[in-house]
Chains A and B, each alone.
Chain A
């Protein structure tokens, strides 16, 4: 007896039986066998061993059998890639079957088989199916392109399937259009950079036509795609809205939500004075209300979305308060969400109703709900000032019920009301004190202690009350301990005579007997304050507190705008952007609402960017990851050490750095061509600012034609552009521009806080760049930047920073830090800020250098639409430190010979040919570092045209 028998296959068992059946001649038996195989597969048994036998059954004219085999293939092809090739022939044949159902089935199944070898064979049949005469096959093939793209994106692009897919958007059949849109959207989502869905008004029109005729799911795809489109003006937005509104009456709630999303997005572009805007607002309300009549789960999804909509546009539902009244048998999650929306909608007009409801809710059975209801009453008081009185009396009524958790919750909110309306409702304190003993939750105890401490002078037995808390000091939670400490110190400052002992006691408890560092630190601070200067302590501890804001739990505006773009998706239910919960590359595309059109510029448009970024000048924000981050983090993000007056030693350093740094590469392959004399020109920061006019003018020779005309006006300054949009920087928006004025470069920044919290501790740092630009002084933001506030700062720059060649040359990567985070962005600076004042070359020198620089370094550019004469151009350029060395008139053309010098000592020689009567002029540039020519040309163009 050997053990080898264990390794021989058994000729018995289920698999063996199935194998025999599969190979049977009888059709019926075969089908039964395949069904058994599928059944085993479904329950998780491994039947992959039967692969060849099952594939053999594929060639059949029985559709049912074929479908079953396809099902099997989809499951096991991956584990048996070599065997799967056997099936390819049948697939290819099936793709040419006269029955469209079979053609579509074959192409669909092939797409689901994720085996590389098979995908190669898929291309030909797929190409045919995409052009099939039957729309059913075409629409299946469209989806197949998306599947294939997921497996092998390169293949799809090489084969040109994407273009075919784009053509399908203009297909005659709406179902095909819908599927093509769905496929393209999916591909575009996984490749955010490709602008696959490049929609134009024509294709939008086609989509809108298809929208009316396709199935509900198709409508959702098309609507989602429309939502990503950016209409060019408010007219177009309105016409799209008009055609989307009928979808609001669809029975499918997903279609309704998608339509709402499109409308919410495009409404941004409509002017508020427009009649249509009002009509649209009215049309949006009823469908949203109807969504609430569905099952509780759907209601919840609808409510989460409505919550966003209400925050963005409260006017839509302002008359519909009643539908958010809680029903007795609503599930708790629906109740809580409704409560939230009720508070958001509460206003002076409906506050009476809301309060009556809330009071009713406060007597319900469910504890969580009751708590939230009580809290809601407090929020109403804070939100609607006129109702505060009523809210407080309602809360007092509730306290009278003596239900433990109601009382506690009420005390917590009354504390907030005190913060909002100081010195108004102190009469209720007596009632509160009666309930002191029943408080057992830390939050309520802390709130009560705060109240006692804050109003110690009005409470006769404040010391006794606080003393009673002090007995069990160590058993309290930290929150209560901290409050107690502060309250007793406050009490001491108000009534120093009677409470000396008490304060001693609490300070020693906090500092000596506590393990909690926060508590200890706070204890020490108070102790030292009191012991050094009681008057100062009084000022610090009893300082006037800022009023609390009305709405505390609003979603940040930038996040809200993004979430509005995701209405009807999981993101809008979670109230989180997709990047927060979707792993991998998908869904990280930031969506944003379209900017408001200029016509609708009204007083209340906080969402409008303060500086209109010119189109096409989108700043690219550096992704906060990878090597760049490391590079930037090497720089110290604290404020730079030295102030503006840079010592000569640092100039030296800079010069050394310039020689040794990335300039070798900048200079290209002609290192010997750089004349030492040209090169050691000191960086601009070292040029005394009072020199003002170009140094060159001092040495001016006879040929100097423009003796310092308008030099003091400084060079051309571009308008501010948004460099860092608020969405990418947690609410901080930065826009700015570069200027050069009398020898110094500065960066004019405008910081806007679009978040809800105050920003402080600003600092700025540059990455190494081509010309060594670096901040010459720390970023001076004197006061904390409160929400919606804007501050303008001029940051002086020096050119002595470390050098590294950038691509493009004038790229500048910037890191900005504040108390929230560090943000990175990059911007392009115009080169003319680097043109120094002593850039005027001697005429002889000019001639010699011009000849000296080889001809291949000469670059020629056309400057169009610049109808200036030689004089005007010359003076305009001079104000930006481009100096005319000589002027000639050849055959009726004015030739200007000009020179300029960059901060790092590179000379650029130029010949500007102006033909009177011809608006365009020709610019020839010669430079030893030809890389800069392109940028110098751009500088010329901007200067001449402005």
Chain B
């Protein structure tokens, strides 16, 4: 909501109170009583010191979930050494707690985080002094904090790629072979692996056979993509085959870039660990 170009309310909890999201129950009630989804009371939270939380929240099951999601952004050169690597992490929360709970979340190793940006609910002073996240959470889903771990704290990349791509001068065929394997995964499986690679313009087509998954090559954009899936450490997935090149043309100048994406469940690659979560201010026991 804007007023004269100034943002008036952007907090979703308040907007939801002003105009209630339609639910089946509410539609039924509205048709019977003739009331509407438009709230006619001023949202209480709007002016309080905790504008993000509405009052009168009630749940029968009190629960709170926190997801630590980390993304590694790394550039690795062709010999396998890391040029830059950094970790962008976020903690997303889903809090369904009655009343006005006051939570504290502490980490085993908070010094790991280089730069953090918080949801406004987090008390910054306590973080500065004690490295503890203390906050009255908004109701529902929200992003508690996002952080950044830079390359200074050496990031161990959990996968490796073995590649053997060669073009030969004066030959219209090139060899292509890549293998993906796990490395330092702490016993977790690597899932959702996809490999994409931009091939040089001189490549006309590719005939490849994957040991697992499916692959496609778009001869117009020269984009090779290979959907690998899970990596089985006993039998490493590989993609082998030949490339047909423009006949007579010289060897392409540019080297193909291999872009690898993957997921590992239940592993925070930075080593960030949550120590404990405490709740104050309310009498009931969560969970």
Contacts and interface: CB of A to CB of B under 8 A. Distances in A.
Contacts, number: 112
Interface stretch (A47-55, A310-318, A320-328, A684-692): A320-328
A112 B7 CA distance: 15
A287 B51 CA distance: 25
A641 interface: no
Interface string B31-60: 000101011111000110101000000000
A325 B49 contact: no
A136 B4 contact: no
Most buried by A among B3, B36, B124: B3
A111 interface: yes
Given A108-B3, A325-B84, A363 B253 contact: yes
Interface string B129-155: 000000000000001011010110000
Given A28-B34, A147-B4, A101 B41 contact: yes
Contact of B86 (A216, A323, A363): A323
Contact of B47 (A67, A143, A175, A182): A175
Interface in A374-403: 401, 403
Nearest to B51: A215
B42 A323 contact: no
A136 B41 CA distance: 12
A135 interface: yes
A524 to B, nearest CB: 46
Contacts of B148: 286, 289-290, 293
Interface string A267-309: 0000000000000000000110110010000000000000000
Given A111-B4, A143-B6, A401-B253, A249 B36 contact: no
A325 B86 CA distance: 12
Nearest to B78: A360
Given A289-B150, A365-B254, A325 B40 contact: no
A63 B4 CA distance: 21
B115 A64 contact: no
A636 interface: no
Interface string B100-128: 00000000000000111111100011001
Contact of B151 (A62, A63, A322, A363): A322
B117 A250 contact: yes
A99 B120 contact: no
B27 to A, nearest CB: 15
A104 B115 CA distance: 40
A728 B41 CA distance: 53
A136 B47 contact: yes
A100 B42 contact: yes
B210 to A, nearest CB: 22
A287 B118 CA distance: 12
Nearest to A357: B83
A597 B13 CA distance: 47
A111 B6 CA distance: 14
A256 B117 contact: yes
Contact of A213 (B49, B88, B253, B259): B49
B244 interface: no
B253 A143 contact: no
A256 B146 CA distance: 14
Contacts of B120: 215-216, 250-251
A140 interface: yes
A893 to B, nearest CB: 65
B84 A286 contact: no
Nearest to B119: A251
Given A179-B6, A217-B10, A328 B257 contact: yes
B42 A99 contact: yes
Contacts of A193: none
A286 B146 CA distance: 13
A329 B254 contact: no
A289 B257 contact: no
Contacts of A364: 254
A22 B40 CA distance: 23
Nearest to A247: B124
B36 A251 contact: no
A365 B150 contact: no
A494 B114 CA distance: 62
A327 B75 contact: yes
Given A143-B3, A363-B254, A101 B42 contact: yes
A364 B75 CA distance: 15
A876 B39 CA distance: 81
A467 B201 CA distance: 37
Contacts of B211: none
A355 B88 CA distance: 26
B11 interface: yes
Contact of A67 (B38, B42, B73): B38
B198 interface: yes
B84 A323 contact: yes
Contacts of B118: 249-251
Contacts of B124: 246, 249
Nearest to A220: B7
B259 A328 contact: yes
Interface in A570-587: none
11 contacts: A99-B40, A134-B42, A136-B42, A173-B47, A175-B47, A215-B11, A250-B118, A251-B120, A251-B145, A286-B148, A322-B151
Interface of B: 3-4, 6-7, 10-11, 34, 36, 38-42, 46-47, 49, 51, 73, 75, 83-84, 86, 88, 114-120, 124-125, 128, 143, 145-146, 148, 150-151, 198, 200-201, 253-255, 257, 259
> What are the 3 A-B residue pairs with the smallest beta carbon separation, nearest first?
A286-B115, A217-B7, A63-B40
